Structure 1
Amino acid sequence: MNNIDITVINNYVQTVSHSSSYWMVRTMGGEYYNDFVENGFIAVGHNDILLKDINDILTNENTAMKNLRKIVANLHPDINRPGHVASQLIRFCHEIKPGDIVVVPGYSSFNLSICRVKSAVYEEPNIVEGNGRCPFMKRIDVDILKSTSRTVLPPKAQLMFNSRHPISDISEYAAYIDSTQFDFYNKDDETHIVLRIKTENEVDVSTFYEIQQLFILAELFCKENNIEDSAKDVSMKVQMESPGLLHFISKKKNILSTVGIIVLLINGGGLEFNNKDFQFKLKTDGIIKNVSEFLDRKTDREMRDKIKDSLDSLQINTPDDFQKAMIELYKTQNANRKAY
């Protein structure tokens, strides 16, 4: 076997752009949350300040804030902080770009949706108000990547909700947002795999020791197949709460791909996929067979059972995005065989 068998998995890993900025766009206390999510947009108020006027002002960045503040103050003399409104409008109309990631919180920030910006700002002329419909004209279209509960975020990420601004730059929380929406992905020159701990029970320390065996086995597999990756190349971020996560990061992609396959094999439930009209058994050939045969040679029943018990105790499933990568890989391989 040569190492191309493992490296080919890396062609199917989700890539997260390193150039994306991260934003939170609030929904008036959740009032417009459903409209934003169901219709795929975010919006900002002050319809009486037209997008054309904002764009004209922004042609001179040196005076943009000053001039827009004057417009806000003239139109709304009751607003105590016109500069704050001006900065929010500039941020929405000028700084948020296609490809950026936006967190949209619902009522009391309990539910949230993670979105990707897919358009420039525009004005929607056909506004329908009432019944939770957003009346704001200045809008940006987004794709909804994931809707979930705030409770899945680690404690440090909860701090981003402290800002009460309608629009906040939350790029410092990017790592937490990425690992909330993906569990196997590339960013910059690093690969990430996230094992999600779903149990709400207390966890014995020895359980985490058995998880370490995954990396010992992956390192042995790499060494046996002349792949220069080792467990020393992997760093880890741990959210120890239950539920929580084990977030592994490495510039050496092959060892994390191997860990993913080992988790899939030891979990057992991922050996066979039925995906609409596409069906296959992962253990029949190729990469999965190579790793499976390696495990049969290098591990005994007791070790595999201990690792399996730890995965079960922590309620760690095979990462969804890893399974998707394997499905796409096998689809391509099957298509190539048919073409041949």
Structure 2
Amino acid sequence: MNKMENMDFLMDIPQVKRGCQFWMIRTNDGLFFDEYINQGFIAIGWNSITKNTFPLSKEGKQALKIDLKGHYGSQVPGSAINKCEKFCMKLKPGDIAVITGKEQIAFAEIGEYYEENREIYNESLELEVNEKIKRHSSDMQEIAVVEDKESVNKGFFLDPQTGQSSLYEIPVRTSRGTKKQNVLCPYCKRRKIKLLSLVHNRETINPYLYKAILLNNHSLSSLNKYADAILSSCYDIYLWRGNLWFALKVDTRKSINAVTLSSFIHSFADLLPTVQKEDISVKTALHSPGDIVLQVANWLSNANNYLWVFLILMFCSVVNSKTRNFLLFGMLSNILLNGMTSRHPDYCRRNTNGWKTIF
């Protein structure tokens, strides 16, 4: 580990890998969202396709299209093949996934590819679950909560008489009637994930990113155009492409005074005395709520930045944040946040979740 890497370790600033790509994955209208987050994986359908299916020749692709039509009645088998190929071959560990739920959106680091037991997670099970979802699509808002989790194994069990796998069903009676049975993800193609951020209120997401999510109905698609907005939703402070990025959340619904905003950004520049002022830029999505994302260019190339931080580290301690299940990227973040708060106490504060929000 060189000196620069060692200093990054001390500051605990996450570094986004070179070549990182950004993907959106849907969860069947939110049906599999909780399972993905709680069990730490993402998945995609079409169980008749596995990683070993690829690469495909032109003739092989045509044969697979026919096979998909036979199994699933798919009207666009070519699109299904392309999505599966992306999931198996193009998603890489370290890429970031935007996982969409019914009421929540999660951001996660993508991990290794794996496949569940094909004897259980086969085409028949997938079709069974798809039919179940289709049959109850009009009133799937109420999904049964599994209370006796010890009696099942990941939602599936083997019938002791037939030896066949089956999806468990638990009807639950309530004062308002009977809730629908629980349905778990039947897909065999999966990737591990590490949760970075979970957003409960969609209004706090960058509006341009949110619009892109709403207009995109594909089960898997690229969101590379929205990399900045995604990263500012994942981290408060991070290193990417050799630059330091610092995201501030604006949570007011009122108009923001232009002079106050200008003064606030100028104060940020004053807190970094070793940085050339022309290296500091700002991106905003101020739809109140929104983001202010400050970028310090060429951070890694200036050793004085590390010297300045190192001197302050001797008087600072790491601050824990429970907002997104990770550290508030400790010392440098704490220095900048506290500096901004002290200069602008009326506009910059820590909210009840531990976030630093402004205005």
Q: Fold conserved (TM > 0.5)?
A: yes
Moved more, 208-217 or 244-253: 208-217
Structure 1 residues 10 and 39, CA, compared in 2 at 3 Å: closer, same or farther? closer
Q: Which residue of 1 is the match for residue 70 of structure 2? A: 74
Task: Determine which structure has the larger helix proportion and give its number.
Answer: 1
Deviation at 1:216, TM superposition (A): 5.2
| CA offset digits 1:245-299 (Å, max 9, x no partner) | 22111224379889999xxxxxxxx9776769xxxxxxxxx999x99xxx9xxxx
Q: CA RMSD in A?
A: 4.0
Q: Which amino acid aligns with 1:241?
A: H
* Pairing partner for 2:347 from 284, 288, 313: 313
Q: Which residue of 2 is the match for residue 326 of structure 1? A: none
- Do the aligned partners of 2:341 and 2:349 also contact (CA within 8 Å) in 1? no
Q: For residues 222 and 67 of structure 2, what CA distance do their matches in structure 1 show?
A: 24
| CA offset digits 1:53-76 (Å, max 9, x no partner) | x52x42345555434323212333
Q: Which amino acid aligns with 2:283?
A: K
Q: Which amino acid aligns with 2:247?
A: V
Q: Which residue of 1 is the match for residue 115 of structure 2? A: 122
- Do the aligned partners of 1:40 and 1:141 also contact (CA within 8 Å) in 2? yes
- Do the aligned partners of 1:199 and 1:242 also contact (CA within 8 Å) in 2? yes
Q: Which residue of 2 is the match for residue 99 of structure 1? A: 94
Q: Which residue of 2 is the match for residue 158 of structure 1? A: 210
- Do the aligned partners of 2:242 and 2:297 also contact (CA within 8 Å) in 1? yes
Q: Which residue of 2 is the match for residue 243 of structure 1? A: 289
1:170-185 alignment runs, 5 A limit: 170-185=223-238
Q: Which residue of 2 is the match for residue 111 of structure 1? A: 104
1:172-211 alignment runs, 5 A limit: 172-211=225-264
1:142 aligns with 2:135: no
Deviation at 1:106, TM superposition (A): 0.7
Q: Which amino acid aligns with 2:347?
A: S
Structure 1 residues 96 and 19, CA, compared in 2 at 3 Å: closer, same or farther? same
Could you state the TM-score of these two structures normalised by the residue count of structure 1?
Answer: 0.67
- Do the aligned partners of 1:195 and 1:316 also contact (CA within 8 Å) in 2? no
| CA offset digits 1:7-41 (Å, max 9, x no partner) | 94685221011312211111110111111111011
Unaligned runs of 5+ in 1: 223-228, 262-269, 277-285, 296-302, 323-340
- Do the aligned partners of 1:102 and 1:114 also contact (CA within 8 Å) in 2? yes
Q: For residues 233 and 176 of structure 1, what CA distance do their matches in structure 2 show?
A: 20
Q: Which amino acid aligns with 1:214?
A: S
| CA offset digits 1:282-328 (Å, max 9, x no partner) | xxxx999x99xxx9xxxxxxx997x324xx325477xx899xxxxxx
Deviation at 1:145, TM superposition (A): 1.3
Structure 1 residues 62 and 258, CA, compared in 2 at 3 Å: closer, same or farther? farther
Q: Which amino acid aligns with 2:199?
A: T
SS of match in other structure, 1:139: strand
- Do the aligned partners of 1:124 and 1:139 also contact (CA within 8 Å) in 2? no
- Do the aligned partners of 1:121 and 1:140 also contact (CA within 8 Å) in 2? yes
Q: For residues 94 and 294 of structure 2, what CA distance do their matches in structure 1 show?
A: 25
Q: Which amino acid aligns with 2:250?
A: I
- Do the aligned partners of 1:23 and 1:102 also contact (CA within 8 Å) in 2? yes
Could you state the TM-score of these two structures normalised by the residue count of structure 2?
Answer: 0.64
| CA offset digits 1:93-151 (Å, max 9, x no partner) | 222222221111111xx311111111113234556235141122222211111111332
Q: For residues 218 and 292 of structure 2, what CA distance do their matches in structure 1 show?
A: 32
Q: Which residue of 2 is the match for residue 327 of structure 1? A: none
- Do the aligned partners of 1:218 and 1:258 also contact (CA within 8 Å) in 2? no
Q: Which amino acid aligns with 1:238?
A: T
Q: Which amino acid aligns with 1:119?
A: E
Moved more, 87-96 or 209-218: 209-218
Q: For residues 269 and 25 of structure 2, what CA distance do their matches in structure 1 show?
A: 43
SS of match in other structure, 2:197: strand
Q: For residues 97 and 144 of structure 1, what CA distance do their matches in structure 2 show?
A: 16
Q: For residues 245 and 265 of structure 2, what CA distance do their matches in structure 1 show?
A: 16
Q: For residues 249 and 309 of structure 2, what CA distance do their matches in structure 1 show?
A: 13
SS of match in other structure, 1:136: coil
Unaligned runs of 5+ in 2: 122-155, 157-166, 170-181, 322-330
SS of match in other structure, 1:203: coil
Structure 1 residues 257 and 198, CA, compared in 2 at 3 Å: closer, same or farther? farther
1:58 aligns with 2:54: yes
Q: Which amino acid aligns with 1:75?
A: H
Q: Which residue of 1 is the match for residue 179 of structure 2? A: none
Structure 1 residues 68 and 21, CA, compared in 2 at 3 Å: closer, same or farther? farther
Structure 1 residues 167 and 185, CA, compared in 2 at 3 Å: closer, same or farther? same
SS of match in other structure, 1:156: helix
